[in-house]
Amino acid sequence: MLGTEKAINATTVEVTFGDNVNALKFAIEGLEVKNAAVKQTDAKTVVLTTAAQEANKEYTVTLDGVKLGTFKGVNVAVPTKVTIKDVDGDRSHQGVIGKEVTVRAEVTVADGQSKAGIPVTFNVVNNNSNTNEKVAYTDANGVTTYSYTRYYNSEDNVTAYATSISSV
């Protein structure tokens, strides 16, 4: 009954199992678990509401004292801006079919806030109706990258936004 752990935001962790579960006795080392509830839309996932996580800190999740796994804490800072560029610093890039393309996003936060550990969603859409979405976390400089392989002769439109805040 091992689970997959994922920080959704700075106070929420989801633990997904292979089978339906009940909200049992979960604990996270170094972090208060305030509530545990089975997700209404997925009986295999338990949503843990926690105290504020520390960005990039590795936490261990246990169930009834048995280690399930680990996840990295998410930053509470909300970016005021997300800028997308390719790794060369340009806003456009000519990719080659069958080759890897790497895009980069940089976040801007309010003065005094940490740029590390902010989740950024990369959304890649092309005119073949293919969508590729991936969440990546920023480094101490507020930069994150995402690499994917182009399989179609098409134009890819890449957007990046602060996860759960698509209006930024």
The answer to whether residues 66 and 136 belong to one domain is no
Q: In CATH, what number is assigned to the domain containing residue 28?
A: 2.60.40.1220
Residue 31 sits in the same domain as residue 68: yes
Digit-coded pLDDT (tens) for 104-143: 999 998 888 878 888 888 888 887 766 778 888 888 899 9
Lowest mean pLDDT among 18-32, 78-92, 125-139: 78-92
**The pTM is what?**
0.56
Containing structural domain, residue 142: 81-162
**Boundary residue ending a domain (72, 101, 131):** 72
Question: Which tokens belong to 33?
Answer: 């678990």
Going by C-alpha positions, the residue among 40, 38, 34, 27 that lies closest to residue 11 is 34
14, 40, 72: which is the final residue of a domain? 72
In a domain, 167, yes or no: no
Q: What is the dihedral of CA 142, 145, 146, 151, to 10 degrees?
A: 140
